[in-house]
């Protein structure tokens, strides 16, 4: 994160007085803050906007912070999160971390400690993004198979059954990874775009199709069959390596 950029922190807290106080302290610490008192409003905001981090109260009036976190994950929305709670429960701490929380802080807490924890999580998030090739693939991931070819994320390379290799672009890699990890499932173009480019990306289906054409051409070049990979016209794509999906 650049020194000039002010991170946007979402304060999701049903105690209005505390939420406003948190927002004020964050602004004084050089951050932007936006307050939400209900979970539903957060989900709506994040479906259209980016945030650097979320301070998330475990107990909200319309649903728990844990439930909100799980809902965001189902929508492929990823935001570094610090859970806030008034109960120092080991079970809650473990659950918060297991479902993807980055930290957990118990009320009451000091503002200097909170700011320090926020900055620590923001630094980790920035370092983590440095390893991302696309939204869904990291350079450290293990090789995987697609239509008999072996994909190597660490080398941005695809090795065909004829033992010859080709370099591939990051987006092609992300598309192959998403399809490979979701076999026997009809995947919409929008789902692939959100997974590879991000949920807020302005990418058209035609652009995705052009990347798929590049992938197909590589397989054709090496006489590698792609029978397991099908275009579902008007919908998206299907990777069915075991031929279990019967479409009418």
* CATH code, domain with 218: 1.10.10.10
Residue with the bigger pLDDT between 49 and 219: it is: 219
The predicted model gives 39-64 an average pLDDT of 89
Rounded to 10 degrees, the C-alpha dihedral 198/203/206/209 comes to: -20
Q: Are residues 125 and 13 in the same domain?
A: yes
Name which of 32-36, 81-85, 134-138 the model is least confident about. Answer: 134-138
Question: Of 130, 160, 181, which marks where a domain is finished?
Answer: 130
Region 169-182 average pLDDT: 94
Q: Are residues 160 and 91 in the same domain?
A: no
Residue 3 located in a structural domain: no
Report field, pTM of the whole predicted structure over 0.85: no
Q: What is the mean pLDDT of the chain?
A: 89
Q: Look at residue 99 and give its three-state secondary structure.
A: coil
Are residues 195 and 126 located together in one domain of the fold? no
Q: Are strands 8-12 and 32-36 parallel, antiparallel or unpaired?
A: parallel
DSSP codes of every residue in 119-184: HHHHHHHHHHHHTBSSSS-BTTPPPEEETTEEEETTTTEEE-TTS-EEE--HHHHHHHHHHHTSTT
By CB atoms closer than 10 A (0-12, 13-18, 19+), residue 115 is middle
Residues 178 and 126 in one domain: no
pLDDT value, residue 47? 78
Could you tell me if 119 and 149 lie in one domain?
A: no
Strands (E), the chain: 8-12, 32-36, 53-57, 81-85, 103-106, 144-146, 149-152, 157-159, 165-167, 186-188, 229-232, 236-239
Whether the per-residue pLDDT at 3 is higher than 60: the answer is no
Question: Does 111 share its domain with 150?
Answer: no
Residues 116 and 25 in one domain: yes
Encode pLDDT of 83-126 as tens digits.
Answer: 998 776 677 777 777 888 899 998 889 999 999 999 999 988 87
Same domain, 122 and 182: no
Query: In this structure, what CATH number is given to the domain that contains residue 46?
Result: 3.40.50.2300
Assess whether 160 and 213 both reside in one domain.
Answer: yes
42 and 83 fall within a common domain: yes
- In this structure, is residue 136 part of a structural domain? no
**What residues make up the domain containing 68?**
8-130
Which one of 130, 153, 179 terminates a domain?
Answer: 130
Q: Does the residue 53 lie in any domain?
A: yes
Establish if 180 belongs to a structural domain: yes
Residue 55 lies in a domain: yes
Residues 219 and 168 in one domain: yes
pLDDT at 173 over 60: yes
Whether 100 maps to a domain, the answer reads yes
Which of 2-6, 52-56, 135-139, 193-197 has the largest mean confidence? 52-56
Domain count, the chain: 2
CA 28/CA 226 separation, integer angstroms? 57
CA-CA-CA-CA torsion sign (58, 122, 106, 27) = negative
Picking from 130, 154, 172, the residue at the C-terminal end of a domain is 130
In a domain, 222, yes or no: yes
CA distance 218 to 246: 27
170-190: average pLDDT: 94
């Amino acid at each position: 994160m650049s020194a000039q950029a002010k991170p946007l922190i979402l304060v999701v807290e049903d105690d209005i007085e505390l939420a406003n106080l948190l927002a004020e302290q964050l602004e004084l610490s050089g951050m932007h803050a936006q307050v939400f008192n209900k979970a539903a409003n957060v989900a709506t905001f994040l479906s259209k906007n980016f945030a650097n981090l979320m301070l998330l109260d475990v107990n909200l009036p319309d649903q728990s912070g844990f439930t909100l976190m799980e809902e965001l994950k189902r929508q492929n929305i990823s935001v570094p999160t610090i859970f806030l709670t008034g109960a120092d429960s080991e079970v809650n701490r473990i659950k918060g971390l297991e479902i993807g929380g980055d930290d957990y802080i118990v009320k009451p807490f000091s503002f200097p400690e909170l700011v320090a924890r926020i900055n620590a999580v923001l630094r980790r998030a920035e370092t983590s993004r440095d390893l991302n090739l696309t939204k869904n693939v990291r350079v450290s991931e293990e090789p995987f198979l697609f239509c008999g070819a072996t994909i190597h994320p660490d080398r941005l390379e695809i090795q065909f059954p004829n033992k010859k290799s080709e370099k591939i672009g990051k987006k092609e890699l992300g598309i192959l990874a998403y399809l490979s990890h979701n076999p026997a499932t009809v995947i919409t173009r929008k789902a692939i775009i959100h997974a590879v480019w991000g949920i807020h990306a302005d990418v058209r289906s035609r652009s995705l199709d052009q990347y798929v054409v590049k992938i197909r051409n590589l397989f054709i070049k090496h006489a590698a069959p792609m029978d397991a990979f099908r275009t579902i016209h008007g919908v998206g794509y299907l990777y069915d390596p075991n031929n279990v999906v019967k479409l009418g």
